[in-house]
Amino acid sequence: MGGPAHNPLPPACTPELTSTSAADQNSKNGTPCPANKLVITPAAPVGAGAVFSVTVAYTGRPGVHNDGDGTTEGWFRSDRPKGDGGFVTTEPVGTEDWMPLNDYPAAKPTYDFYDTVAAGKTVLANGVLLSRTHHGPDGQFPGGSVTWHWHSPAPVASYLVEDSVGNYDLTESTRGGIRFYQAQASSLSAARKAKNRAIMNKQPDITRFESMFNGRYPFTSDGVVVGRPSASFEEEMQTMITFAGGEIDTDTLYHENMHQWWGDHVSEASYNLTFFKEGLATLGEFLFAARTAQAQAGGPGTKAGRRAFQRSLVKQFNTTYASKGTFWAAAPSNPTPFGLFSGSATYDRPGIAYVALRQILGHANFTRALTQIQRRYGDRAITEAQLEAGFRPWLPTRSAACGSRLGQFFRQWFDTAYPPGGGANRPSITGPGLAGPGFYTGGCTR
């Protein structure tokens, strides 16, 4: 279901904004992006379906990107302690600050990383570590060097490319055919590392749990890197999730790990679809809270546990749905650059929309829809129309009236900006058992 006309200033232009004031945003809105693209013109026309290769010789100094909302992303240098190294976290456009590429979420090439670094340094990248080749001292590396080769067999969206180089402790293990990597800044205290490790050790279990909703884990590896720099946010780098500031927390790990399916395996076709994957990652947090409630009530194998799981999701929806002020004032599918990662329209609103959608379809049909979307669009990008069409076949009653009602649901939740205040100024279509008028009583839901 298409939304309104989208903001003509894409997030890639946010470094041109000098402040977050409304005046500055309006004055820059519609301004073209600066000429920062590498254009390659073939000597002769390239035929349709032909395969060709391009080699780009590039030398540059990695940097940090300053976004219009005051956040930073890119290649962070850490010199505390001296020589600590680099830490990469780049959403949505910071990758262009350290390598030439087509910096757009729907552009998803595969990668091989060959990083030659001073002996003793560690390289962390997407995919699996294939080899480490040692070299003797030379003029560039008096103490010798090592070439690390990481291979990503799955395509990677531009902002999810990971390539941190520094002093890290790296371990790996295999669970259920998936290779799990753990990396922490070597200079962290032993106590801090132990606390981080206790949470990092949960990743295989979190992956198994989230597979129950999304289908099988889509990659051959999964991992976490905890770096020292105080980057503006944590990020779902594909197969190598980044945590900044030397710490990790469980709730955020559920969020970022959910992204491995949503945003990573199935990517957004454009920046305005950021809400689609952030909403599903926020749902991952809601599922964690529900899982905790379920365990406290007796576990997933008990009626009490299953009731507690459901009650937790309903409570989350009802509490968030009661939000007032400007909570509903921005349409998720029509973000402004400076609010792309800082507003309720990106996270909580689409997050509870998926809770409502689960109530409308029923749990089994909701998970079947998610699994089918993963199969159909995995390793590719998805549009808003394709996302919404992926849920439609799973309505319990597939009538024209029910399909029309579902279309209204998506327009209200994804495409509509409401006046401030809450109350009537919010989506009126919710789901059975939730606050609000409900979905449709004519047999559309179970």
Q: Convert the pLDDT of each residue in 163-202 to its tens digit.
A: 999 999 999 999 999 999 999 999 999 999 999 999 999 9
Euclidean distance between CA atoms 132 and 415, whole angstroms: 49
pLDDT-derived band at 125, boundaries 50, 70, 90: very high
| pLDDT tens readout for residues 35-81 | 566 778 888 999 999 998 888 888 888 888 877 677 788 899 888 88
| Local confidence band at 99 (pLDDT 50, 70, 90 cut-offs) | confident
Mean pLDDT of 315-324: 98
More confident residue, 152 or 38: 152
Confidence check: pLDDT of 106 > 60: yes
Q: How confident is the model at residue 138 (pLDDT cuts 50, 70, 90)?
A: very high
Number of H helices, E strands in the chain: 10, 14
CB 143 within 8 A of CB 137: yes
Class of domain 60-264: alpha beta
Question: What is the predicted pLDDT for the residue at 97?
Answer: 85
pLDDT of residue 261: 98
> 402-416 pLDDT, tens per residue?
999 999 999 999 999
What are the backbone dihedrals phi and psi of residue 145, each rounded to the nearest 5 degrees, phi first? -145, 170
Q: Do domains 1-28+265-446 and 60-264 have the same CATH topology?
A: no
User: How many Cα atoms occupy the beta-carbon half-sphere of 28 within 13 Å?
Assistant: 23
Q: What is the DSSP string of 254-307?
A: HHHHHTTTBTTTEEESSGGGHHHHHHHHHHHHHHHHHHHHHHHHT-TTSHHHHH
* Domain 1-28+265-446 CATH assignment equals 3.40.50.11890: no
**3-state secondary structure string across 335-399:** CCHHHCCCCCCCCHHHHHHHHHHHHHHCHHHHHHHHHHHHHHHCCEEECHHHHHHHHHHHCCCCC
Find where tokens 């884990």 sit: 217
Mean pLDDT of the chain: 90
Mean per-residue pLDDT, 396-406: 93
Q: Which residue ranges make up each domain of the chain? A: 1-28+265-446, 60-264
**Residue type for 19, please?**
S
Q: What percent of the chain has pLDDT over 70?
A: 91
Q: Which two tokens stand for residue 67?
A: 């976004």
What's the pLDDT at 241?
Answer: 98
Q: Residue 442: is its pLDDT beyond 90?
A: no
Average pLDDT over residues 275-288: 98
Instruction: Please write the tens of the pLDDT for every residue from 12-41.
Output: 444 444 454 545 544 444 444 455 667 788
The per-residue pLDDT for 162 is 97
Residue 267 has pLDDT above 70, yes or no: yes
Task: Spell out a b/e string for 380-403, using b for 16 or more CB atoms within 10 Å of the CB, else e.
Answer: ebbbbeebbebbbebbeeeeeebe
Q: How confident is the model at residue 317 (pLDDT cuts 50, 70, 90)?
A: very high
Taking CA 331 as the corner, what is the angle to CA 234 and CA 364, rounded to the nearest 5 degrees?
70
Per-residue pLDDT at 342 = 79
Position 388 pLDDT exceeds 70: yes
pTM: 0.91
What is the pLDDT, as a whole number, of residue 34?
56
Q: Is 114 exposed, middle or buried (0-12, 13-18, 19+ CB in 10 A)?
A: middle
The C-alpha atoms of residue 374 and residue 264 are separated, in whole angstroms, by: 11
Under 8 Å between Cβ of 124 and 168:
yes
**The pLDDT value given to residue 29:** 44
Task: Name the pLDDT band for 443 (thresholds 50, 70, 90).
Answer: confident
User: What per-residue confidence (pLDDT) applies to 2?
Assistant: 31
Helices (H), 11-127: 22-28
Cβ 348 vs Cβ 282: under 8 Å? yes
pLDDT for the residue numbered 35: 57
pLDDT beyond 60 at 1: no
242 in Cβ contact with 124 (< 8 Å):
no
Q: What pLDDT, on the 0 to 100 scale, is given for residue 4? A: 35
